[in-house]
């Protein structure tokens, strides 16, 4: 018996449910219906799908209430990756001259899913658009069109559709639209069109005031244009948008302060930031700043104190490397440093807040669950010592 026949169980359930439902009203009609249905099921179980489909299509024409069985069957084929069979079912339905209008958009949606599954995006797009003509309010069609445009990186089209959904669910759709504008801003930046880049980044912020990515784009732009003061202001504003994301910009922020030779202000700012957000691991960053402004000894003293309050592999590694250079310690230190740096390379630095996907690389769009802006720096350093 082919393994997929197990998948027929839902069809049998749907079928029994139909039998039960029709029993009370059309007793006679139902008995011939049920014998035909059993025949169809039998073909299915014997893996003769062509014959089974012929019977089901005839049945649906005599009683459109049985259409749910077709949908269930189509879904199973799709789940098994047999898109051709799912397409055949839904195309068969749509071609029926007796098809009642009320089922048309549902079938088009199903067919759209089949095409999506088969990777035929332009055909799927056509169908979902057709659903919108039939049923102007269809959210499902809109969401699928958005997925297609996102896949094709057609950000303007994605924005057009998403804006229709915005007012109903601003907290979910707003961040999506903001990321589309950021994608466009990135493209404009690549072409050197700075005013367009800024324009688009501000649009992103209008749809999502917490869009860290838009702030980063604006700050990078300001810094590239030589306005480090403005860049610092924007980078710092990210703390209000999402404190954890400060870790994404800390190096750039330090570079701006350094360009202005504001070492003391930088130290002050970072100390405050660390106090406001204990979970941000800034000890090595602060040690760096201290080393540059007050020398190695100051950095060592700071780290030796910190490492006891907030033990971390990164801090330990840094401390060892300092001691090694100053106190001429033996080769053990060398090996330790190497071992720790290997451990740290393996550690996960970014994690998706929605699905738990983790990675060493930062993504704006989670490759696992397809959510925008959900991949964030890990707040508790994975290599942290207990």
Q: Which residues bind Zn ion (CB under 5 A)?
A: 352, 354-355, 357, 366, 368-369
Q: How far is the CB of 360 from Zn ion (least distance, A)?
A: 15
Q: Provide the minimum distance between the beta carbon of 214 and Zn ion in the complex, in angstroms, as a whole number.
A: 20
Residues with Cβ within 8 Å of 96's Cβ and at least 6 positions away in sequence, in order, are 57, 60, 61
Minimum CB separation from Zn ion for residue 352, in Å? 3
Q: Which of residues 226 and 356 has its CB atom nearest to Zn ion in the complex?
A: 356
Q: Which residues pair with 96 in a beta bridge?
A: none
CB of 299 closer than 8 Å to CB of 290: yes
Least CB distance from residue 12 to Zn ion, whole Å? Answer: 36
Q: How many CA atoms lie within 13 A of 373 on its CB side?
A: 25
Closest distance of CB 67 from Zn ion, Å: 35
Residue 111 sits at φ, ψ, to 5 deg, of: -65, -40
Of 57 and 147, which CB lies nearer to Zn ion in the complex structure?
147
User: Rounded CA gap, 53 and 95, in Å?
Assistant: 14
DSSP label at residue 384: -
Compare residues 253 and 375 and give the one whose CB is closer to Zn ion. 375
Helix (H) or strand (E) holding 359: strand 358-359
Q: Provide the minimum distance between the beta carbon of 353 and Zn ion in the complex, in angstroms, as a whole number.
A: 8
User: Looking at beta carbons only, is 157 or 354 nearer to Zn ion?
Assistant: 354
Q: What is the DSSP letter of 193?
A: -
Interatomic CA distance for residues 25 and 300, integer angstroms: 86
E strands, 36-127, are none
Burial of 298 (0-12, 13-18, 19+ CB in 10 A): middle
- CB closer to Zn ion out of 302 and 363: 363
Among the listed residues 110, 55, 377, 73, the one whose alpha carbon sits nearest the alpha carbon of residue 248: 377
CB of 250 to Zn ion, least distance (A): 23
For residue 376, the 8-state DSSP code is: E
Q: Which is nearer to Zn ion, 284 or 368 (CB)?
A: 368
At closest approach, how far in Å is the CB of 141 from Zn ion?
Answer: 24
Strand partners for 352: 375
Residue number, 318 or 376, with CB nearest to Zn ion: 376
Q: How far apart are CA 217 and CA 204, in angstroms?
A: 11
Give first-to-last CA distance, the chain, whole Å. 54
**Quick one: 46 or 370, whose CB is closer to Zn ion?**
370
């Amino acid at each position: 018996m082919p393994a997929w026949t197990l998948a027929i169980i839902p069809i049998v359930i749907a079928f029994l449910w139909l039998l039960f439902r029709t029993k009370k009203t059309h007793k006679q009609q139902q008995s011939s219906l049920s014998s035909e249905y059993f025949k169809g099921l039998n073909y299915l179980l014997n893996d003769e799908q062509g014959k089974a489909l012929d019977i089901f299509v005839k049945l649906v024409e005599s009683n459109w209430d049985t259409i749910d069985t077709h949908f269930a069957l189509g879904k199973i084929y799709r789940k098994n990756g047999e898109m051709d069979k799912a397409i055949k079912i839904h195309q068969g339905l749509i071609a029926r001259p007796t098809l009642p209008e009320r089922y048309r958009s549902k079938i088009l949606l199903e067919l759209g899913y089949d095409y999506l599954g088969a990777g035929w995006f332009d055909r799927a797009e056509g169908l979902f658009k057709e659903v919108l003509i039939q049923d102007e309010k269809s959210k499902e069609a809109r969401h699928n069109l958005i997925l297609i445009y996102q896949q094709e990186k057609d950000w303007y089209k994605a924005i057009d559709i998403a804006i229709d959904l915005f007012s109903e669910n601003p907290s979910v759709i707003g961040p999506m639209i903001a990321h589309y504008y950021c994608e466009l801003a990135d493209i404009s930046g690549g072409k050197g069109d700075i005013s367009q880049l800024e324009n688009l980044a501000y649009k992103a912020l209008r749809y999502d005031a917490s869009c860290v990515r838009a702030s980063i784009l604006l700050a990078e732009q300001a810094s590239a244009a030589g306005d480090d003061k403005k860049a610092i202001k924007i980078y710092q504003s990210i703390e209000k948008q999402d404190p954890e994301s400060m870790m994404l910009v800390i190096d750039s922020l330090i570079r701006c302060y350094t360009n202005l030779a504001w070492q003391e202000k930088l130290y002050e700012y970072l100390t405050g930031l660390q106090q406001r957000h204990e979970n941000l691991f800034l000890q090595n960053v602060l040690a760096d700043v201290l080393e540059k402004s007050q020398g190695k000894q100051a950095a060592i003293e700071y780290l030796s104190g910190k490492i006891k309050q907030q033990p971390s592999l990164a801090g330990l590694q840094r401390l060892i490397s300092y001691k090694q250079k100053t106190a001429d310690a033996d080769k053990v230190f060398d090996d330790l440093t190497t071992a720790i740096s290997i451990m740290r390379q393996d550690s996960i630095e970014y994690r998706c807040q929605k699905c738990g996907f983790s990675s060493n690389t930062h993504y704006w769009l989670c490759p696992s669950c397809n959510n925008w802006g959900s991949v964030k720096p890990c707040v508790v350093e994975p290599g942290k010592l207990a």
